[in-house]
Amino acid sequence: MADIIKNSDHRARLIDGKAGAAAVDAAAKSAAEALAVPLGRAAALAVVLVGDDPASQVYVRNKIRRTEAASMTSIEHRLPADTTREALLALVDQLNRDDGVDGILVQLPLPDHLDATEIVEAIDPAKDVDGLTAKSAGALVQGSKGLRPCTPSGCVWLARQALGDLTGKSVVVIGRSILVGKPAALLFLEANCTVTLAHSRTADLPAVCAEADILVPAVGRPEMVRGHWIKPGATIIDVGINRIDAGDGKSRLVGDVHFGEAVKIADFITPVPGGVGPMTIAMLLANTCVAAAARAGLETPKILQALEIA
C-alpha cells in the first residue's frame, strides 16, 4: 500500500486521500474478482444521472471509470433534466427488479421539480450503496448491519489511517446534512468517539471546535475554520470542496478549513483537493461488493473486512 500519511513542511502531516482511495479501490477490485466466481458475473453498479449539472457529470464519469477499473460492471442511465417523477420512479423500480444489478446510485442533486427524498426512498435498501434510504439510516442509528454512506465512511477511514483506534477521541462534525454531517456523527460514534454535531446555529463555534481531537467540517463554506479554532495536535478531516476566485480570471479549490493556518497547528490534515473527495467513490465500490455479497447470501469479502470498511 502506498503511504497514506505524508510529511509536509509544517507541523501537520498530510492524509493523502488519493493514496487512501487507491488502496480501497484495489481492495474492492480483489473483492469483486473473488465474488465473480460464486456470482457467475461481475458485481454491477447502476448510476442514474438526471440533467446536466457539470459537477455531477465529472463525478459520474469518474465513478464509471473507477467501477470498471475495479473489475465491476458499470451501468449508466442519463436522463434529461425534464424527466418526470413517474419516469424516474419507473427506472428505479426496473433497477430494483434487475437481478444483475447490485448497487443503485441516483446522483444528487436532482433537478428542483423532483423530490430527492422520495426518489432515494424508492431504492431497494439491499442495493442502497449510497446508504441514504430510511432503512439504511435506521440501521446506522441502531448500529445494526446495513450499507453506510460513502463520504462519511471515507472520513472515518482516513481518521483511522492517521490515528489508529479512535476510541475515546472527541469529534466535532460541523454540518448536519443527510449526505454527510448526520451520518458522519453516527459513524464516529460507532467508532467509540465522543461526538458533537455542530451546525449553523451552534453558539460559539470556534470554542466548540477547539475541543476537538478530530474536526470534520462539512458545510461548504470556503476556509471558514481558522487556525485559532483548532486544538494543537488535532486531526482535520476537511469535507468541504469549494471553488473560489483566485484572481487573474482563475479559480481554485479550497476546503472548509483555512489550510495555510491549520497546517501549522494540527497534527494531521486532509488536503483539498486530494483528501476526503477521492474516498467517496472508493467507499461506493466497497459498498457495491458488500451489497453483491449480501444479496447472494455470501459473507462480506475478507479483504474489505480487514480494511474495516464494512
Active site residue 130: yes
Q: Is residue 161 part of the contact set for ligand GUN (CB under 6 A)?
A: no
8 Å CB contact between 285 and 35 = no
Judged by CB under 6 A, the stretch of 72-80, 105-113, 185-193, 210-218 that binds ligand GUN is: 105-113
Q: Is residue 67 part of the contact set for ligand GUN (CB under 6 A)?
A: no
Q: Is residue 108 part of the contact set for ligand GUN (CB under 6 A)?
A: yes
Q: Is residue 288 part of the contact set for ligand GUN (CB under 6 A)?
A: no
Judged by CB under 6 A, the stretch of 16-24, 101-109, 134-142, 192-200 that binds ligand GUN is: 101-109
Q: Is residue 83 part of the contact set for ligand GUN (CB under 6 A)?
A: no
Active site residue 250: no
Q: Which residue lies nearer to ligand GUN by CB, 212 or 290?
A: 290
- Mapped onto helix, strand or coil, the DSSP state of residue 195 is strand
* CA–CA gap between residue 56 and residue 44 (Å, rounded): 20
Nearest to 106 by CA among 182, 196, 169, 179: 179
Q: Which residue lies nearer to ligand GUN by CB, 67 or 280?
A: 280
Q: Is residue 79 part of the contact set for ligand GUN (CB under 6 A)?
A: no
Q: Is residue 286 part of the contact set for ligand GUN (CB under 6 A)?
A: no
165-194 binders of ligand GUN (CB under 6 A): 179
Q: Which residue is nearest to ligand GUN (CB)?
A: 108
Distance of CA 87 to the CA centre of its chain: 28
Set 130, 213, 238, 256: catalytic member: 130
> Which cell numbers hold the place of 261?
493556518
Q: Which residue lies nearer to ligand GUN by CB, 51 or 230?
A: 51
- DSSP bridge pairs for 269: 14, 236
- Residue 181's contacts (CB-CB under 8 Å, 6 or more residues apart) are 173, 174, 175, 197, 199, 218
Set 16, 25, 102, 107: catalytic member: 107
- Residue 284's contacts (CB-CB under 8 Å, 6 or more residues apart) are 45, 63, 103, 105, 129, 130, 150
* CA–CA gap between residue 197 and residue 206 (Å, rounded): 13
Distance of closest approach, residue 149 Cβ to ligand GUN, in angstroms? 7
* CA–CA gap between residue 55 and residue 32 (Å, rounded): 28
**Residue entry with cell 494540527:** 266
Set 16, 25, 29, 63: catalytic member: 63
What number of chain residues touch ligand GUN (CB under 6 A)?
A: 9
122-151 binders of ligand GUN (CB under 6 A): 130, 150-151
Judged by CB under 6 A, the stretch of 67-75, 84-92, 106-114, 239-247 that binds ligand GUN is: 106-114
Active site residue 161: no
What amino acid occupies position 286? A
Other C-beta atoms closer than 10 Å to the C-beta of 87 total 12
* CA–CA gap between residue 41 and residue 129 (Å, rounded): 19
Q: Return the active site residues.
A: 63, 107, 130
Applying CB under 6 A, the residues found at the interface with ligand GUN are: 105-108, 130, 150-151, 179, 280
